[in-house]
Amino acid sequence: MARPASKATTPTATPHLTPVALTIDPSNLGSSDGNGILEPGEQVVVRPSWKNVGGSISLAGAILNYTGPAGPTYTITGGGAAYGVIASGATNACTDCYQLGVSIPPSLATSRPATHWDSTVSETLSSGQGSKTWTIHVGDSFLDVPRSHTFYSFIERLLHFGVTAGCTLTTYCPDDNVFRLQMAVFIARTQAGGDANVPASGVAQGQPYNCVSGGASLFTDIAPTNPFCRHVHYIFSTNVTTGCEPGKYCPDPNVTRAQMALFVARGIQGSDAAVPMTYGPDPVTGRSYSCNPGAPNLFFTDVTTADIFCRHAHFLWATNVISGFPDGSYGPSLLVTRGAMAKFLANGFGLRLYGP
Each residue's pLDDT tens digit, 61-103: 999 999 999 989 999 999 999 999 999 999 999 989 999 999 9
When pLDDT is cut at 50, 70 and 90, the band that residue 321 belongs to is very high
Each residue's pLDDT tens digit, 147-188: 999 999 999 999 999 999 999 989 999 999 999 999 999 999
Each residue's pLDDT tens digit, 178-222: 999 999 999 999 999 999 999 999 999 999 999 999 999 999 999
Each residue's pLDDT tens digit, 275-302: 999 999 999 999 999 999 999 999 999 9
| pLDDT value for 110 | 56
| pLDDT value for 105 | 81
SS (H, E, C) the chain: CCCCCCCCCCCCCCCCEEEEEEEECCCCCCCCCCCCCECCCCEEEEEEEEEECCCCEEEEEEEEEEECCCCCCEEEEECEEEEEEECCCCEEECCECEEEEECCCCCCCCCCCCCCCEEEEEEEEHHHCCEEEEEEEECCCCCCCCCCCCCHHHHHHHHHCCCCCCCCCCCCCCCCECEHHHHHHHHHHHHHCCHHHCCCEEEECCEEEECCCCCECCCCCCCCCCCCHHHHHHHHHCCCCCCCECCECCCCCECEHHHHHHHHHHHHHCCCCCCCCEECCCCCCCCCEECCCCCCECCCCCCCCCCCCHHHHHHHHHCCCCCCCCCCCCCCCCECEHHHHHHHHHHHCCCCCCCC
| pLDDT value for 28 | 72
When pLDDT is cut at 50, 70 and 90, the band that residue 107 belongs to is low
For the chain, domains (ranges, CATH) are: 17-137 (2.60.40), 180-348 (no CATH)
| pLDDT value for 289 | 98
Mean of the per-residue pLDDT values of the chain: 92
